[in-house]
Structure 1
């Protein structure tokens, strides 16, 4: 049997190295898990569509509309059913921004004493929670028509030291009003979703007791590279998880299992171009999805009748 030549050995070594690098990259991007999920999503479409939000039926009806009038990038998004408007935050020059449902600025409110606000979530009438990412603070704030600024030092706060990693902290919030659970997304390293009971403290007649719980099984199912935002759907009990780097919105059922997805790539879901850097997702009472992306772009997705 002839011995391989040095040139063949070099080629074989390079091919093996390329295969190993490809396998590592596929694992880093969670491509195997994503491909398996896409197969399951297709197989179970008829079954899951009837009892879920079912993201594949959503189509962009407004896309890449600039949010005019801001010098700083927005982060996160929440829907206020009382005001029928949206709220987001900026972090370089901390502000709370109220948006109309077509992406116009309604008002801007300075945030005083906030280091790095990254997410905001509607809790109840006039009550919101804002995250301070680097310090891992959750800050309960009040807002009404006369509010001119919000001071963190005058607000109820909860500090958590969970897997602290610089600015890879709390990026998303969602609230389950029936279960009184606040979902908190850790961006990455590792990607995690925590459930917090007892904050914000809304009943002064009860003691202030906070319980923080994780779900390792749910986190392991998240085949996304990062988390940017969360949205809880009261009707189905399902959670939406937005990933900027994976260009994806995932729907998780009540057990934390991914069951449907909305792609943010160009040519998918009615998008002419891909969403450049998705930062926040919110859903209104009618099931319409709203999304903001850096650099201050606004999107609307509406559900179309299924096949």
Structure 2
């Protein structure tokens, strides 16, 4: 019994508990995988920089600018190359919101029949896909200059009952226009990215056939705690994955391997303060990155010349 009263015993016990807690935290936050990724990113920097967007070279040129005129949180972001503007959605009072490239509200279009819109993605001129998170529903919508509202009941829809989990459903979208692939991100439990072929249905002369592809091996390499948004880079064929909880944008190569990252922590990438709750990322044809964060903050990141 005397051993139990010795200070050395309690010190050793406390250290053991701290080590166990540290190991649990490291596993929960995927710190080992993240550390190994940083080593790989450093080792292959000169090689991968030439073949990718290379996110470490990006610096915030506009940060934490409030989006004036919105009284609801924004979710997701997509770039429209025809209009040279950005689109996001709000979910408490469902609207499509068009933004200028410097974060000003250009117009709001009410959404009718949408329960919880979480993402919007540009497909082609005037055509977009919106996710309804809780129902795991994808809705193809048309949006023109004179559109007054968008009604889900009048739109092409696809429902996917994959790993239904309350409000931890489809959170992000990205589209590969050449491969005609729609990438859909499941937020968490588990973090997953699905590849959908055949939706939206754009050729009426062909049958409506949908094929869903998953990649558990790629998803296991995603050392992020959640997924908030996706962006497909047409220039490189790489996918950008935004994680709010991990404060990262990850660049995945064509094989689905993380090869570079943009940190959303204060003091990194030119940020004065950490991005509070990143919800959407988009990229224009020059490679400029746009990001929105709750509550309604707007950011721009631009690539700087390598030193």
TM-score, normalised with respect to structure 2: 0.98
Q: How does 1:1-307 map to 2 (within 5 A)?
A: 4-7=3-6, 8-307=8-307
Shift, 1:235, TM fit = 1.0
Secondary structure in 2 aligned to 1:212? strand
2-structure distance, mates of 1:42, 1:12: 37
**How many Å separate the matches in 1 of 2:186 and 2:209?**
22
Deviation at 1:18, TM superposition (A): 1.3
Report Cα offsets for 1:3-40 as digits up to 9, x if no partner: 73433333322221111111001100001110110111
> Structure 2 stretches of 5 or more lacking a match?
none
Does the residue aligned with 2:217 lie in a helix, a strand or coil?
A: helix
The number of residue pairs the alignment matches comes to 306
Q: Deviations over 1:33-83 (max 9, x none)?
A: 101101110111000000000000000000000000011000000000000
| Distance in 1 between residues matched to 2:13 and 2:189, nearest whole Å | 32
1:10 is paired with a residue of what secondary structure? helix
Q: Give CA-to-partner distance per residue, 1:115-173, whole Å, 9 cap, x none.
A: 00000000001000000000000000001001000000000000011111100000000
What secondary structure sits across from 2:224 in the alignment? coil
Distance 2:87 2:237 in 1: 22
Aligned equivalents of 2:83 and 2:255: distance in 1?
Answer: 32
SS of aligned partner of 1:183: strand
CA-based RMSD of the aligned residues comes to: 1.1
Secondary structure, aligned partner of 2:226: coil
C-alpha separation in 1, matches of 2:45 and 2:18: 36
The SS at the match of 1:120 is strand
Q: TM-score, normalised by structure 1?
A: 0.98
Secondary structure of the corresponding residue to residue 281 of structure 2: strand
SS of residue paired to 2:172 = strand
